[in-house]
Amino acid sequence: MRTQAWTNLANQFSNSFRLGEAHDAWRAALEIDPENGVAASCAAHNLLWLYAQGGCSDVTRIEAFMLAKIAHRHPDRVIQYAGTQAADEIATFASELEDPPPRSPHTDPFIRWVERERLTLAPAVELVDPTLGKLDWLMLPGILERESGATGMPPPVFAMFNVLKSDFILARDLAWRAIDENVWPATGRFGDTLDYATYGPDASALILAHRTALDLLDKIAVTANHYFEFGQRPDKVNFGKLWRGNPDKVTGIRPLAEKVEKVIRGGVSALYGLVELAEDYDNSEGILRSQKNLRNAGTHRFVVLHDLGDPAHSRQTPEIEHHRREQFTREVLRALRVARSAIQMLALSISQHEQNLEQRTSGIIGSLVIPDHDWIRGRDDET
């Protein structure tokens, strides 16, 4: 039942273009039952669709083949979960794909961790390709210039997207380093609170990683508001509120904002994934509301982490939330995946919109090459 529930949730995410979250959920289903061919087949379809959009690496195809072969090897489990007809369709799909080539295990423990936790910023949630040289190579497509008299510099959306990636990479690095308390300078003395709490830069880094990951959501909303020209003041943009208008006085339902709906109906279907993600994060009953509450506690009050004992036995006060460190670490990884998925949805939305603009634009289009930042700075001779 658990593996089927994760599969069904993944399918719902996929239908709303929350493709990164869908892949996470299919992988969760496979962790529970490694023979769940339905989840494996759906994940393979998802990766191949993204590969067909362009911009993905060959590793995307390879992982899709690996997943499809899981379904091909376990037809009985597919029949159990989805019936004979689905099993026949999945078998046909899987038989048409090549056998995946062998992969050597990663030697770098950080790379292994990033791949296992699915925390790369690539166009798809995929395995790590060591030949690419960079873990986080998700880039914006070409952007049609909208401002007359532009000075030959890239549009501001490139700077915004770069900062989104930079913040995500920092949050992920903080989470990785927080695993080992010995990598931090032991310059502070702390009075022990006699409840197995952990204090020091490693614990604070973990809390900061969580907060930084979720702070990205508001920046993603600011980027979308600017790029899609929704018209809200940047200092008033809120990820939870950007996408919908005021509640209907009779039904209480908040309809999509007029400009947001126009963009989605104009072919930018991936933008609806951000709308749904915002509702799950901001609504009091949303499946991600606990993440927002935890972020608010870490920002405005105090979060204390415990590596032993029961945090409920600590001396309680409303200013402090007590959490088990192991459980909190899992919440940090979840927050990082939410941020990763939101950045991927933003990039896919911009790509869909640019494709639509290009189809509607007549005449000659000039181009400006956006060079690699490391190359400009002289840090990467191979780019």
User: What's the burial of 266, exposed, middle or buried (CB within 10 Å: 0-12/13-18/19+)?
Assistant: middle
pLDDT grade, residue 365 (50/70/90)?
low
Across 72-86, 224-238, 245-259, the highest mean pLDDT is recorded for: 224-238
> How much is the pLDDT for 382?
47
> How much is the pLDDT for 90?
80
Query: Sign of the CA dihedral 85, 86, 87, 90?
Result: positive
Nearest to 216 by CA among 135, 126, 124, 121: 121
Cβ 95 vs Cβ 114: under 8 Å: no
> How much is the pLDDT for 36?
94
Give tens-digit pLDDT for 130-141. Answer: 777 788 999 998
Q: What is the mean pLDDT of residues 254-277?
A: 96
Fold of 2-105: 1.25.40
> How much is the pLDDT for 182?
83
Only one residue has tokens 């009091």, namely: 284
Taking every pair of C-alpha atoms in the chain, what is the biggest distance, in angstroms?
73
**Poorest-confidence range of 8-17, 106-115, 200-209, 245-254?**
245-254
pLDDT at 343 over 90: yes
> How much is the pLDDT for 192?
94
Instruction: Give the span between the Cα atoms of 341 and 352, in whole angstroms.
Output: 16
**Poorest-confidence range of 310-314, 344-348, 369-373?**
369-373
> How much is the pLDDT for 71?
84
Q: Where are the domains of the chain?
A: 2-105, 156-376
Only one residue has tokens 């409840």, namely: 195
User: What's the burial of 360, exposed, middle or buried (CB within 10 Å: 0-12/13-18/19+)?
Assistant: exposed
pLDDT at 383 over 60: no
pLDDT grade, residue 373 (50/70/90)?
confident
pLDDT at 208 over 90: yes
Cβ 98 vs Cβ 65: under 8 Å: yes
> How much is the pLDDT for 143?
84
pLDDT grade, residue 372 (50/70/90)?
confident
Nearest to 94 by CA among 59, 69, 114: 69
pLDDT at 357 over 90: no
Give tens-digit pLDDT for 298-308. Answer: 999 999 999 99
**Poorest-confidence range of 55-59, 230-234, 343-347?**
55-59
Instruction: Give the span between the Cα atoms of 163 and 171, in whole angstroms.
Output: 12
Cβ 319 vs Cβ 301: under 8 Å: yes
Instruction: Give the span between the Cα atoms of 197 and 193, in whole angstroms.
Output: 7
Q: In 3-state terms, what secondary structure has residue 229?
A: coil
Residue 108 structure tokens = 């770098």
pLDDT grade, residue 86 (50/70/90)?
confident
Residue ranges of alpha helices (H) inside the chain are 2-15, 19-32, 37-53, 58-73, 75-82, 84-95, 109-117, 156-178, 201-227, 258-265, 271-282, 289-300, 325-360, 373-376
- pLDDT greater at residue 259 or residue 186: 259
> How much is the pLDDT for 249?
85
**Residues of the chain with pLDDT > 90: what percent?**
66
Cβ 276 vs Cβ 18: under 8 Å: yes
Per-chain mean pLDDT for the chain: 90
**Residues of the chain with pLDDT > 70: what percent?**
95
Residue 70 structure tokens = 């899981």
Give tens-digit pLDDT for 161-200. Answer: 999 999 999 999 999 999 888 888 889 999 999 999 999 9
pLDDT at 127 over 90: no
- pLDDT greater at residue 367 or residue 325: 325
Instruction: Give the span between the Cα atoms of 303 and 206, in whole angstroms.
Output: 10
